[in-house]
Amino acid sequence: MTTQYLDLFARLTENSDGGKREFLEIGRLAGSFPAASVRSSGPVTGRDSISVWCSNDYLGMGQHPAVLKAMKDAIDEYGAGAGGSRNIGGTNHYHVLLERELAALHGKDEALLFTSGYTANDGALSVIAGRMEKCVVFSDALNHASIIDGLRHSRAQKQIFRHNDPAHLEELIAAADPDVPKLIVAESVYSMNGDIAPLSEIADIAKRHGAMTYLDEVHAVGMYGPEGAGIAAREGIADDFTVIMGTLAKGFGTTGGYIAGPAEIIEAVRMFSRSFVFTTALAPAVAAGALAAVHHLRSSEVEREQLWSNAQLMHRLLNERGIPFISDQTHIVSVMVGDEAVCKRMSALLLDRHGIYVQAINAPSVRVGEEILRVAPGAVHTADDVREFVDALSQVWEEVGSARVPATPAAL
Ligand code: PMP
């Protein structure tokens, strides 16, 4: 390996530590306490524990006894790994059961598992958009990196509509050749803003222009809708979305991703998706754990109710304290800081003084000048936890939040 390549990589990171310092610090702290104190639950007891406020295990299913038992039992029964790719020896009983459960959850013909939500979007979109000749894709400006990568891999023509702006989508789609296949791609809950897409308008535009629809419900499945089936299901329009995509790593507390949709599409993705075909299947124990989580959340409202009551309490308290956040539509509460250094300082102070861990979100996850503290109250927090969190945040906000400076987009 010649050094110029290494230099190139070094140059890419020379002006930033990429959050490495905080990363190492959190790792060190997390490693030095018993697991219980770094779960996304637990009281803030000074320096003896860390209270986590940025976990995507929103419903606490990663610690749920039914999920843990299912995983342990599956390990005893089937061992640690899948032993192969899905098509070559790696398919297990639990993969099949989980795919059936997910298809039933979304009311679709079939579902297909991937090893992560990232690979699900990448693999599914590269096939769906890539195999329809002359397909034009209409993609929301804030769609996740995995969607962007899947569309890049598809090599389909792409048009970006302004975030959550159906009028702009309509304008772009109306200007496209009426005879080419079209695909609209959106998220239901946006990961960094925590806002919700105008799904019925999108579905209506799709119908009028004969477009297929692909909906990423990663931050919604488990949390919203009847049986946790997501936002489209909550609005009674899941049928209007051709493919619904989800993760097992957030509301369902484990790991893995999936799509659910018509049998023809699922079959094509199963055959041609490189991120499905050329990788080892999910460990059976993970599939068993996810199955237990989906199963539990289809019949239990307890976690959803607790999550939503904590989220609403946090919205109310932040409003009372005058702390700005992007959206009160979901449990993703993105406190608008707008400056990388201030954001990191707030995160560090919360940790050092209050034993609270909430990660500063900087570029490339958000644009320069739009830095946030992405707070995720979970079902495992109590109302008192939320109050303590907001008290601590208010103190830090008073101290350094006012030092915010205007964005310098040129810095990128
Ligand atoms: N889609 C969205 C909207 C996401 O936010 C994420 C991850 N944060 C993914 C897909 C990828 O999911 P996973 O973490 O399961 O790979």
Q: Ligand 1: distance of its center to the CA of 144 in Å?
A: 7
pLDDT, position 411:
33
Q: Ligand 1 within 6 A of 191 CB?
A: yes
Q: Whose CA is nearest to atom 14 of ligand 1?
A: 117
Reported ipTM: the value is 0.99
Residue 121 Cβ inside 6 Å of ligand 1? The answer reads yes
Pocket of ligand 1 contains residue 117 by CB under 6 Å: yes
Output the pLDDT for position 37: 41
Residue range 296-329, pLDDT digits in tens: 999 999 999 999 999 999 999 999 999 999 999 9
Q: pLDDT tens digits, residue range 230-267?
A: 999 999 999 999 999 999 999 999 999 999 999 999 99
On the question of pLDDT at 25 being above 70, the answer is no
User: What are the tens digits of pLDDT across the range 53-108?
Assistant: 999 999 999 999 999 999 999 999 999 999 999 999 999 999 999 999 999 999 99
Domains in the chain, start-ordered, CATH in brackets?
14-52+301-411 (3.90.1150.10), 64-299 (3.40.640.10)
Instruction: Please give the mean pLDDT across all residues of the chain.
Output: 91
Q: pTM to 2 decimals?
A: 0.91
| Interacting residues of 332 by C-beta distance below 8 A, sequence separation 6+ | 189, 190, 191, 192, 193, 194, 219, 374, 375, 376
Q: Is 114 in the pocket of ligand 1 (CB under 6 A)?
A: no
For 43, the 3-state DSSP assignment is coil
pLDDT given for residue 14 in this prediction: 73
Predicted confidence (pLDDT) at residue 293 exceeds the cutoff of 70: yes
Q: pLDDT by residue (tens digit) across 319-378?
A: 999 999 999 999 999 999 999 999 999 999 999 999 999 999 998 889 999 999 999 999
Q: Which residues are catalytic?
A: 250
Chain Cα centroid distance, residue 286: 18
User: Among 58, 147, 191, 334, which is best to mutate for testing ligand 1, by the most ligand atoms less than 8 A from CB?
Assistant: 191
Say if residues 286 and 41 touch (Cβ distance below 8 Å).
Answer: no
Tell me 402's DSSP state. G
CA 233 / ligand 1 centre spacing (Å): 20
Give the per-residue pLDDT at 31: 47
Q: Which protein residue has the closest C-alpha to ligand 1 atom 15?
A: 117
**H or E segment to which residue 320 belongs:** helix 302-321
